Amino acid sequence: MGKPTGFLDYQRVLPGYRDPLVRIQDWQEIAGDTDEIQLQQQAARCMDCGTPFCHTGCLVGGKPTGCPLHNLMPEWNDLVYRGMWAEAFARLEKTNNFPEFTGHVCPAPCEGSCTAGLVTDPVTIRNIEKHIIEKAFEDNVIAPKPPKVRTGKKVAVIGSGPAGLACAAQLNKAGHSVTVFERADKPGGLLMYGIPNMKLDKKIVTRRIRLLQQEGVTFINNIEVGKDYDAKQLIAEHDAVVLATGSTRPRDLPIEGRESKGIYPAMQYLAANTKQILTPSQQCPTYVNAKGKDVLVIGGGDTGTDCVATALRQGAKSVNQLEIMSCPPPKRAAANPWPQYPNVWKQDYGQEEAEALTGQDPRQYCISTKKFVADKHGNIKEVHTIGVEWAADEQGRTVCREIPGSEKVWPAQLVLLAMGFLGPEGELLQQMGIEQDARSNINAAYGEYKTNINGVFAAGDARRGQSLVVWAIHEGRGAAKACDAYLMGSTNLSD
């Protein structure tokens, strides 16, 4: 612990975002800069706790606590405070294959479990992490590290999102020949097409892909296993297979008028917009422009926020966001104690931009959507809603009740459904004979990652359901460890 009084001497300071009215004019990263002196001061706030909950990565009271990757935050915070950036990266690299991804998009459950947060503000762990990896790239500390010896084993990883990439990186490190199959035109999965460029610049994703290629990982794009490549043939031609296809079936809203034109799953909208940004000379066939339209985003979370921010940049006439749940409290509720992740109200970047532009936060809580109404050409023109309240019924269960007289009609020429995902697409799994659980996720026990098919493993959202990038990386590492043990009889990989 470099400075015992650091959390008393320095206040929590974040770099902040670029001015919202400026940044909505482009697709560049929203984050601002932080100088090294300020970062060292922020790292000095870490108390190097005897029991550091920040890297526990477990459930407390059934809710997530700390970092699933078990990052050694106190160690690399101390090294940053001392100005030992290369050594800090070496500590960070032990547990996290891609700090540049988590440093940009992770909601930082580690900070919610920071002990300093009991008496003051938590340490700015995510921001420090991001700058450790960026400085490592800037100072050329990072170089390709291909394995010295190859095992002769061939592994296919299906899906190149964070779980697939982490699994591929670890298996390659063990000396196996790894091929990653991606059905999109570029690798990266949701990192490439699911998260908008202003939150995660695609140069950062391609930089890491290039490094993995230099280390020996093979990427094959525009190939959908199960359609372009027979799944059983793929299994026969490889010693092991890892399924990391993600949870990509969007939750729909099958109410009256759903067939109206102009209603899209949020991820379809976001992915097409990113494709258009990356290849502006080629018109993406699924691209949807919100310019001049009243946009209604149904659903919250990160995806809903990304839809709000994207529509604003496209020049939407108005943007509103409807959530059926109640507004979170400003402070932790009694049922949400430390060190659980704090379920509290916050304003993310998209809502901040909308408020800067219109004077109000776009979110409306406790709103249930009842029907869509189209014009004579079949295009969506308005959305009918009703207010709801959440209360306990006779059995003590929390139920949703509609509030009479709270009906409202919203003008809308574009509706985006951001209500989460229902699990992996089933065609490939059925072709391979993979068992699925009651929620349609791949049935593979956590920690073992084995499916019912010998030599086939599963990791990430396809196995656990929709979750965070940091959990996907954790699962990718765990599946790699299990796969390596299957191939070699034992393993030295860490999960």
Phi/psi at 103 (5° precision): -65, -25
Is 258 contained in some domain?
no
332: number of Cβ within 10 Å:
16
Write the Ramachandran bin of 363: left for phi over 0, alpha for psi from -120 to 50, otherwise beta.
beta
Residues 400 and 271 in one domain: yes
Residues 444 and 372 in one domain: no
Which of these three, 83, 114, 138, is where a domain ends?
Answer: 138
Burial string for 443-464 (b: 16+ CB within 10 Å, else e) reads bbeeeebbbebebbbbbbbbbb
Whole-number Å distance between alpha carbons of 494 and 492: 7
Tell me the pLDDT band of 233, cut-offs 50, 70 and 90: very high
**Angle of CA points 224, 481, 158, to nearest 5°:** 0
Residue 141 neighbours by CB under 8 Å, 6+ apart: 85, 86, 89, 135
The candidate with the shortest Cα–Cα distance to 282, out of 375, 194, 186, 376, is 186
Amino acid 394: pLDDT: 86
pLDDT at 51 over 90: no
Residues 380 and 280 in one domain: yes
Amino acid 491: pLDDT: 97
User: Strands across the sheet with 318-322, in order?
Assistant: 263-265, 414-417, 294-298, 318-322, 363-364
pLDDT digits (tens, 9 = 90+) for 459-489: 999 999 999 999 999 999 999 999 999 999 9
Provide the residue type at 240 as one letter.
A
Residue 180 neighbours by CB under 8 Å, 6+ apart: 156, 157, 158, 159, 160, 164, 165, 168, 187, 217, 218, 219, 220
Is 383 contained in some domain?
yes
Classify the C-alpha dihedral 204-206-209-215 as positive or negative.
negative
Is 479 contained in some domain?
yes
pLDDT digits (tens, 9 = 90+) for 326-362: 999 999 999 999 999 999 999 999 999 999 999 999 9
Taking residues 296-314, report their average pLDDT.
97
Amino acid 102: pLDDT: 97
Strands annotated E in 323-366: 363-364
Residues 20 and 112 in one domain: yes
Is 107 contained in some domain?
yes
pLDDT at 390 over 70: yes
Cβ pair 69, 95 in contact under 8 A: yes
Whole-number Å distance between alpha carbons of 216 and 210: 10
Is 197 contained in some domain?
yes
Give how far Cα 121 sits from Cα of 40, 88, 125, 152, 245, Å: 16, 23, 11, 51, 38
Amino acid 50: pLDDT: 84
Query: Which range (39-48, 52-61, 118-127, 261-270) has the least confidence?
Result: 52-61
Phi/psi at 336 (5° precision): -130, 60
Which of these three, 113, 138, 163, is where a domain ends?
Answer: 138
Place of tokens 């030295």: 492
Taking residues 120-142, report their average pLDDT.
96
Is 493 contained in some domain?
no
Residue span of the structural domain in which 386 resides: 263-417
Residues 132 and 160 in one domain: no
Residues 40 and 185 in one domain: no
Amino acid 1: pLDDT: 65
Residue 114 neighbours by CB under 8 Å, 6+ apart: 53, 54, 122, 123, 125
Q: Which residue has the higher pLDDT, 13 or 64?
A: 13
Residues 276 and 409 in one domain: yes
Which of these three, 110, 138, 166, is where a domain ends?
Answer: 138
Give how far Cα 99 sits from Cα of 28, 84, 204, 259, Å: 20, 17, 11, 42
Whole-number Å distance between alpha carbons of 339 and 110: 9
Structure tokens belonging to residue 134: 């960026």
Q: What is the CATH number of the domain that holds 322?
A: 3.50.50.60
Provide the residue type at 91 as one letter.
R
Residues 240 and 273 in one domain: no
Cα end-to-end distance, the chain, whole Å: 26
The candidate with the shortest Cα–Cα distance to 234, out of 453, 443, 448, 449, is 453
Is 256 contained in some domain?
no
Residues 103 and 201 in one domain: no
Q: What is the CATH number of the domain that holds 120?
A: 1.10.1060.10
Residues 349 and 407 in one domain: yes
Residues 192 and 275 in one domain: no
Taking residues 300-308, report their average pLDDT.
96
Amino acid 64: pLDDT: 80
pLDDT at 323 over 80: yes
Taking residues 423-441, report their average pLDDT.
95
Give how far Cα 108 sits from Cα of 71, 133, 169, 189, 332, Å: 12, 16, 23, 21, 16
- Summary count for the chain: helices (H), strands (E): 17, 16
Residues 282 and 405 in one domain: yes
387: number of Cβ within 10 Å:
17
Domain count, the chain: 3
Cβ pair 201, 164 in contact under 8 A: no
The candidate with the shortest Cα–Cα distance to 324, out of 264, 400, 405, is 400
Is 257 contained in some domain?
no
